[in-house]
Each structure stands twice: as C-alpha cells, then as structure tokens.
Amino acid sequence: MRNIIFSGIIACFFTTIMPAAFAQPLAGTDDLGRTLLQNDAVGDPKQGRHIAMFYFLWQGVSPTSPKHWDLTEIYANHPEVADDCDDPNWGGPKTMYYFWGQPIYGYYRGDDYWVHLRNIQLLTDADVDFLVIDATNRLTYPTQSEALMKAMDAVRAQGKKPPGIVFYTNTRSGETIQEAYEQFYMEGAPYRHPECWFYLDGKPLIIGASRDVKDTRCLDFFTIRESQWPTEPQRVNGWPWISFTRKPEVHLNARGEREIINVSVAQHPNPTAGMGGSAFYGYIGNWGRSYRNGSPGNPETDIFYGYNIQEQWEVALKEDVPFVFVTGWNEWIAGRWDSKDKNPKHSWFCDLASPEFSRDLEPSLTADLKDHYYMQLVNNIRRYKGVEKIPASDALTKPIKQLSDWQTISRVYTDYTGDTQHRNHAGAQSEPATVYTNTTGRNDFHIMKVAHDKNNFYFYVETSDNITPNTGDNWMRLYIDADRKATTGWKGYDYRIIGGKTLQQYVNGNWQNVGNKSLKTVVEKNKMMITVPRTFPLLKNVSDFEFKWTDNMQAEDPMDWYVNGDTAPGGRFNYVYLSTK
C-alpha cells in the first residue's frame, strides 16, 4: 500500500484518498471554439489521479544570445543564417541560448516572481498537482526555485491548492540530489518551504539515479523515482519526461504497479536532426505540434490544435494510471551547438527551435498560439480527473437594496489576491538590457456574489483594498455571457457594464448602449454592487449565464487578461451562475 502526503494531508493511495480541493468549476471557450467540459461530460472528481507538469527555471541562467534571441524572428528576417553558423545575424556565438518564440510575459528570467505567480494561478486552476523542476543538467536554481515557491505559498495562503514541487535530476544525479536536499529540504536549508513538497510513499518525492546517491541522509529522506530517458529500456520505478514511441508506454514501480505515463507537446526521436534539424533543414523523424495519424500535418493550419499531444492524451486517458507527466509548461530556450548532420555550417538545436518544433503549453505571443494549449490542457485534465458540479441558487424572496443585504448571500466566487502587484524585473536579454515593468494592477478582485429575483440580477464584488475612483470605460467592467454561446456577442459576451453604470450589448460587431438610464450602482470603500433589470433582451428568461469582472484592461483582447490589471476569474475563464428559475 502506498501513501501520498501533500501539504500535511495523508491519504491512502489505493483505498481512501481524500478528494482534491477542486477550485470552483470555471467555464470558458478558446478562440478555436473549444468549450471547457463540465461535470455532465466528465463526471465527479475521481480519486487517485495526479498531474505532474515539467517546469523550467533556466531562462536567463543559461546565457541568452546577446543581440538577437528569438529564433522565429531571426529565421523570418534572415533565413540565410541556417546555412551559416557564423552569420552575425545569429546575434551571438554558438553555445548561446535562444527563445524559440515570445512568451506572453516577455522573454522573462527564471527568478521573476510576477511571472511565477501568474503561472501558479493558471496551473492551480487547471488542477495540476505538482511541478517537476528540470534539474537534469546538474543545476538546482536555488533563487529561481525560491521565487517559485513563494508564489506557491502566496496562493496556498488564500485557501487554494497550488501545485507542489519535485526536482528531476540526471547528470551527476547523486550530487544534484544532495545539493537539492541541502538547499531546499534539510532543517535549516536556506530555501526551505515544506508546504510546497509533494510526497509519495510518505516522503518528499525526488527523481534521479538512486544508484548514484551516496548520502544516507538523502536515501532516508526522499522517495526516489528513477530518471527515465526515452532512449533507454524501461527502468523499475522509472518516471519518463518524454516518450519516443507513438503510443506512450506505461511505466511500473518496484511493486509492479502501473504508475505513470508521459504526454508531450512535441518530440524529437531523431537525435541527429534535433528539433532544429526539422525546423530549419527539413529533416524528418521528429514529431511537431501538428503531427498525427502518422503524418506531420500542415503546421500553418494545424499547429493551433495540439494534435500531437492529443493523440498521447487519448492513450493516457485509456490507460488510466495514477500519474500523468505532462511535458511541458515553459521550457522556451535551447542552446545552439555544432552541427551533427555532417554540414559544419549548420547549427544544431536539441529540444526546441520553432513554434512547430517546441513543447511549451504556456500562452505565447508567437505564431498566434495564444492560450490554445493551456485551454486544451484544462479540458484533458478534467477528462482525467473529473470536475465538481456547478451549484444552483434559489431566487430571492426580497430584493437587495443595499450592500449590507449581501450578508445573507452565502455562495461566493473567489479570485486570487496579490496579483495586482506591479512588475519591475529584468528580462533575459542583455543587449540592450531589458527591464519589464507593468503598473496596470490597481483593483484586486477578491470576492464576488450574484443573486436574482423575478425582476433583477444583482452583482456584488469586493476588492482587497478600497476601490479606486471611476476612471472611465475600463474601470471595474462586468462581462455577461447571457446565452452561454461562444458564437454570439464579443468572444461570447453579449453584455458588458462599463464605468460601473452603463449597460452595453454587442450588436453587429460593436458595443452599443442599451437604454437611456444608468444602472443602479453602489460603491462603498472596497465593495460594489450593480442591479441589472431582467427586462433587457436575452436576460428576461435567463436561468444561467457566465460572467467575468475586469479592471484596467489595456487592449480589447482576451490575451490582455493574462497580463494587465486584474480579472476574475483569470485569463479566458468565466464564473457560472445557475439559478433554480
């Protein structure tokens, strides 16, 4: 019998595991028209299922090419570099590292807390159980890990269940495990965050080569699972970070139990080519994002849909093992090395090189990938783990007239707090040095409520601090998807309330004011309520709808919600209000 402990909760793995603390079920539809599955499609939360996400902290530690660092931009502007490894348009010499494209948060460094906080929120909402830190190249990234774990702590302090942390070692694994123990785990360690640890078999989990571990402190302290390379035969207790077989294999633990399977955005089973060989020289044998049914597909039209990883998800869902290892979230960079294809003028990139031949799920500004892979991830996790039902609310027996009346409404929607903190952090670039700043955060959403009677819908919002003065259209906006159809309205939203008082409907491609009167709005300190009559079209007979609060949006684009101001819920998600008529 195996025990899993997470944040001090002990659960018997094969018998009576505690249900996961699932977040309030969120709705949403991506720009591809894929709508998040709900309880009626995936069932109730299922016990004994865990998602591990490969997570990377090396941005800015591995040296970024100084003058040019974005491979997609370099190749688009100077395709001749592919045939001349010394071309100055590479922006730096071999051994430098390049981003394959631009993350939504810019070319960030691995110690940027502002970025980690947003990622932890996204991965918590996705119901990821733990992050597997890539320490395979001997580095353990102590200051970067500290920034990440502080973000985990901040989310946990709000009553949420953020992912935990596990280190994946390989090169000089024994040394790396000992360093991780001394940096993060032992009593008195400088970067010790015990509530962030993920436990397996009653001990903190770490991945590496147990045969290389000589320090008895580590052997006694950790549960060790073996690093499993895709080019090696299966190891007992092996945990694969990627698979080079089209049908990913289930890996067994020492008890002979089926334990884990890997799914990956893209794979590079042709080591001579590497991802760069497929991206720049047309070599076959690697599987990009668009690969499916034995064909590379057409990346120009297929890249958005994640066909390659979806094929693997279908296998993983059928195998139904306790752990699914997902590769990966935010690798982003690759080193440029000497050619392996007998042409000395070529450059070699191993793990990633282009939008098609890369494996990041984190939202991107490159190649119109947006948040497609993140939303796909959420849906697949729901298929694997299930999701809670959305509760319904009864109609009020008397109207809400003032803020104190909301004390009787017990059902709440919560948002993360602390994410309006301004950003001021160096990026990974060096020539010129870049400092990323963002000062758009102001009203930090915390608690939302909704109620209804036969005449009105009532909306309540509470922020962490006093609500700022009304500054115009992008102040404290409320979006409403009245018909829950993503094909109507603006990105599915039929109505919005701007400036706290003006109701608008999206008609014929434009937002148009509805009616001549302002809505009834009350603002006191950090609380605000809006009354919306049910006489308006689409609201008369509505029994359920989706809604979203935003503040200080900088662009009319859902991708803006990941970066600027504050949104509740985050990103492209919506809350759902169900009524009993």
Q: What is the pLDDT along the chain (581 residues), one digit of tens a residue?
A: 344 433 333 233 322 233 322 337 999 999 999 999 999 999 999 999 999 999 999 999 999 999 999 999 999 999 999 999 999 999 999 999 999 999 999 999 999 999 999 999 999 999 999 999 999 999 999 999 999 999 999 999 999 999 999 999 999 999 999 999 999 999 999 999 999 999 999 999 999 999 999 999 999 999 999 999 999 999 999 999 999 999 999 999 999 999 999 999 999 999 899 999 999 999 999 999 999 999 999 999 999 999 999 999 999 999 999 999 999 999 999 999 999 999 999 999 999 999 999 999 999 999 999 999 999 999 999 999 999 999 999 989 899 999 999 999 989 999 999 999 999 999 999 999 999 999 999 999 999 999 999 999 999 999 999 999 998 899 999 999 999 999 999 999 999 999 999 999 999 999 999 988 899 999 999 999 999 999 887 888 888 999 999 999 999 999 999 999 999 999 999 999 998 76
Say whether both 272 and 316 belong to one domain.
Answer: yes
Same-domain status, 370 and 501: no
Q: In this structure, is residue 23 part of a structural domain?
A: no
pLDDT tens string 85-108: 999 999 999 999 999 999 999 999
* Residue 558's CATH number: 2.60.40
Can you give the CATH number for the domain in which 252 is found? 3.20.20
Residues 454 and 369 both lie in one domain: no
Instruction: Give me 346's structure tokens.
Output: 């070529």
202 and 99 fall within a common domain: yes
Under 8 Å between Cβ of 25 and 39:
yes
pTM comes to 0.94
* 539 close to 484: Cβ distance less than 8 angstroms: no
Residue 245 amino acid letter: T
How far apart are alpha carbons 10 and 174 in whole angstroms? Answer: 28
274 and 126 co-located in one domain: yes
User: In terms of Cα–Cα distance, which of 85, 88, 95 is closest to 67?
Assistant: 88
Judge whether 25 lies within some domain: no
Residue ending a domain, among 385, 407, 425, is 385
Assess contact for 426 and 63: CB atoms under 8 A.
Answer: no
Same domain (yes/no): 353, 414: no
Same domain membership, residue 238 and residue 94: yes
Residue 516 lies in a domain: yes
- Shared domain check, 408 and 371: no
How wide is the angle at C-alpha 569 spanned by C-alphas 565 and 573, nearest 5°? 110
Q: How distant, in Å, are the alpha carbons of 35, 492, 510, 537, 560 from that of 500? A: 29, 21, 19, 20, 20
Q: What is the CA radius of gyration of the chain?
A: 25
Q: Is 466 within the bounds of a domain?
A: yes
DSSP string, 366-398: STT-BTHHHHHHHHHHHHHH--PPPPEEPPPSS
Which secondary-structure segment (H or E) carries 512? strand 510-513
Query: Into how many domains does the chain fold?
Result: 2
Out of 385, 402, 422, pick the residue that ends a domain.
385
Both tokens of 221, joined, read 């302290």
469 and 343 fall within a common domain: no
In a domain, 24, yes or no: no
The conformational region for residue 221 under phi > 0 = left, psi -120 to 50 = alpha, else beta, is: alpha
In a domain, 149, yes or no: yes
Identify the domain containing residue 147 by its residue range.
Answer: 44-385
* Signed CA dihedral, 404, 410, 413, 415: sign only: positive
Same structural domain, 145 and 254: yes
Residue 24: its pLDDT value, please?
79
One domain, residues 301 and 172: yes
Query: Are 362 and 488 part of one and the same domain?
Result: no
| Model pLDDT, residue 11 | 32
Residues 261 and 319 sit within 8 Å (Cβ to Cβ): yes
15 within domain boundaries: no
In a domain, 447, yes or no: yes
Q: Tokens for 22, please give them.
A: 């699932």
CA distance 508 to 528: 31
